[in-house]
Amino acid sequence: MKSLVRILAVLAISLPGLATAQTTLRVVAHSDLKILDPIWTTAFIVRNHAYMIYDTLFALDDKLQIKPQMVETWTTSADKLTWTFTLRDGLEFHDGQPVTTDDVVASLNRWAVRDSLGQILWAKVAEVKAIDPKTFRIVLKSPTGVVLQALAKPSGNPFIMPRRIAETPASEQIKEFVGSGPFIFKRDEWKPGDKTVYVKNPRYKPRSEPAGGLAGGKIAKVDRVEWLAMPDQQTAVNALAAGEVDIIEAPQHDLYPILKKDRNISLVTTNKWGNQYIFRFNQLHRPFDNPKVRQAMLHALNQKDFLDAVIGDPEYYLVCKAMFMCGGPYETTVGFADKYESNFTKAKELLKEGGYDGTPVVLMHSTDLYVLTNMAPVAKSLMEKAGLKVDMQSMDWQTLVSRRAKREPPAQGGWNVLITSTSGADSLDPLTYSFIGATCDKAWFGWPCDAEITKLRDAFADETDEAKRKEIVEKLQLRAAENPTHAFLGQYNNAMAIRKNVTGSVVSPVPVFWNIEKTGR
């Protein structure tokens, strides 16, 4: 018997898998990961990466209610100007260093430079100060109701980083990727174009509440997560059917019938709030520096052509002329009821009024994300029917994400138009909806500049009466129709394809991989 024990001990050392079974979750992500700084870019794949390795002060649960995450308690002074926060016990970075409020303050300051809601909040901030290692304070110049909303944003959250990293200028990308979240990024195994690897963080202390949305107990129940770059959707579906991968984050809608027939696969909708398509103008350069030319696009485009070209099945899409989402608390078509009808006569009139002179328009075309691949060709056709000359330039999504940050003229590597999508949960009101921000060089890529829009967003932030807030939304939409920051191209829903031996998916506006368990194959 003793000999057998010795043999098993030797085997356990030489073959660690016999000692402790390592569970690996293999996921075909919606995009390859090439950029790693979630403050420098808003690309969803980078946001998803951030939720793996960083933690947040607050988060939204599965009912979009604000819940504390890294924060344990907080108080507000009677005049609503002083907010004091205390961090919960047991917060550690992946390198073993404790999370302190010096890290929090540095992270907040860097975030507020780039995030549109952070900018609104920080305009009202007199001071952000660490009181002691676990307590920090935000002192406002005037009261506002957006403090917790800003700190709990689903996309564009102020992810907490070590101070030495967070002090990197917001205009530069960070070079270290140390968080305090439930997973650790394995930079030594990161191979852009192939895979991204995360391992369970043994130091992470989850909250005691059940996981829900982006809040609650983030319990890593698998040892390792691999995001696989697999741009060919049929190849991904074949791999899922064979058990070679466990999840496809965003399978093509036209493949749903095949997936539904496989008894080992489930289609699970975790983002019940859906998504919205965005057609974004670059207002720094001709011809979209002229509002008449931008107005022309609102008349030239129609949502159904885009949705049919990509989603196909009306069961999964919705034509919607409400900027802040049909079904949302601020749904209204004011300003847009007569738009998105492909009225080319009206579009041509506006192009003439705007002095369009035939300048070619550079339309960036993402080729490797199926939810975007067919969008640019539809846009090109409609824009040309309206009278624009269109130079559609094809590239992968990560190249587009890098190029959209360039402010140079299109002839020097810049751009005129890009198409993207955003989460419905990020589009429900003027504060979280970054595309309506018009703060010039501080605005989202495209850099719209409009004092009236900025004034109305600020008024919405300060207003607490819901009826008055809805009046502000109507005024904002009317102004956005007159001086457009973007066009919105309809709503759609999608589902994850998940093998049935994988359970515990969390309903959330962001795909997350805590709480997930995998048994067998």
Indicate whether 44 belongs to any domain.
Answer: no
DSSP 244-275: S-SEESS--GGGHHHHHH-TTEEEE---TT-E
- The secondary structure of residue 293, as a DSSP letter, is H
CA angle 492, 27, 234 (to 5 degrees): 65
Report whether 175 contacts 181 (CB < 8 A). no
pLDDT value at position 415? 98
Distance from C-alpha of 322 to C-alpha of 330, rounded to nearest angstrom: 8
pLDDT value at position 159? 98
pLDDT value at position 20? 53
Contacts 24+ apart (CB under 8 A), 203-207: 203/92, 203/94, 203/96, 204/92, 204/180, 205/89, 205/90, 205/91, 205/92, 206/182, 206/514, 207/69, 207/88
Domain boundary among 166, 192, 223: 166
406 and 289 within one domain = yes
Domain that holds residue 305: 275-492
Report whether 233 contacts 465 (CB < 8 A). no
271: its two tokens: 């983002």
156 and 282 within one domain = no
Indicate whether 337 belongs to any domain.
Answer: yes
Indicate whether 113 belongs to any domain.
Answer: yes
Q: Is the pTM of this model over 0.75?
A: yes
Indicate whether 459 belongs to any domain.
Answer: yes
442 and 323 within one domain = yes
- The secondary structure of residue 215, as a DSSP letter, is B
Domain boundary among 166, 196, 227: 166
Distance from C-alpha of 266 to C-alpha of 256, rounded to nearest angstrom: 10
Instruction: From residue 294, give the alpha-carbon distance in Å to each of 282, 299, 348, 485.
Output: 10, 9, 12, 8
140 and 284 within one domain = no
Distance from C-alpha of 54 to C-alpha of 4, rounded to nearest angstrom: 45
> 496 Cβ partners below 8 Å, 6+ apart?
247, 248, 249, 250, 251, 267, 268, 269, 270, 505, 511
Report whether 137 contacts 82 (CB < 8 A). yes
Distance from C-alpha of 140 to C-alpha of 123, rounded to nearest angstrom: 9
Length of the chain, in residues = 521
For residue 144, give the CATH number of its domain.
3.90.76.10
Distance from C-alpha of 281 to C-alpha of 451, rounded to nearest angstrom: 18
Indicate whether 253 belongs to any domain.
Answer: no
The mean pLDDT values, 10 residues at a time, for the chain of 521 residues are 42 42 94 96 95 98 97 97 98 98 98 95 97 98 94 97 98 97 98 97 96 98 97 95 97 96 97 97 98 98 98 96 97 98 98 97 96 97 98 96 97 97 96 96 97 96 94 98 98 97 97 96 67
Q: State how many domains the chain has.
A: 2
Place of tokens 């439930």: 182
pLDDT value at position 21? 72
Instruction: From residue 167, give the alpha-carbon distance in Å to each of 39, 104, 105, 106, 113.
Output: 12, 11, 10, 6, 12
pLDDT tens track for 405-460 = 999 999 999 999 999 999 999 999 999 999 999 999 999 999 999 999 999 999 99
Q: How much is the CA Rg of the chain, to the nearest whole Å?
A: 24
Beta-bridge partner residues of 275: 423, 492
320 and 448 within one domain = yes
Q: What distance, in Å, lies between the first and last C-alpha atoms of the chain?
A: 33
Q: Angle between the 451-462 and 466-482 helix axes, to the nearest 10 degrees?
A: 170
Indicate whether 19 belongs to any domain.
Answer: no
> 507 Cβ partners below 8 Å, 6+ apart?
62, 212, 213, 270, 272
Closest CA to 147 of 138, 159, 156, 155: 138
Beta-bridge partner residues of 195: 191, 228
Indicate whether 197 belongs to any domain.
Answer: no
For residue 478, give the CATH number of its domain.
3.10.105.10
pLDDT value at position 359? 93
357 and 476 within one domain = yes
466 and 335 within one domain = yes
Distance from C-alpha of 432 to C-alpha of 455, rounded to nearest angstrom: 16
Show the 3-state SS of 366-414: ECCCHHHHCHHHHHHHHHHHHCCCEEEEEECHHHHHHHCCCCCCHHHCC
Indicate whether 259 belongs to any domain.
Answer: no
Burial group, residue 75, by CB count within 10 angstroms (0-12, 13-18, 19+): exposed
Element (H or E) spanning 238, and its range? helix 233-241
161 and 291 within one domain = no
Contacts 24+ apart (CB under 8 A), 256-259: 256/313, 256/495, 259/497
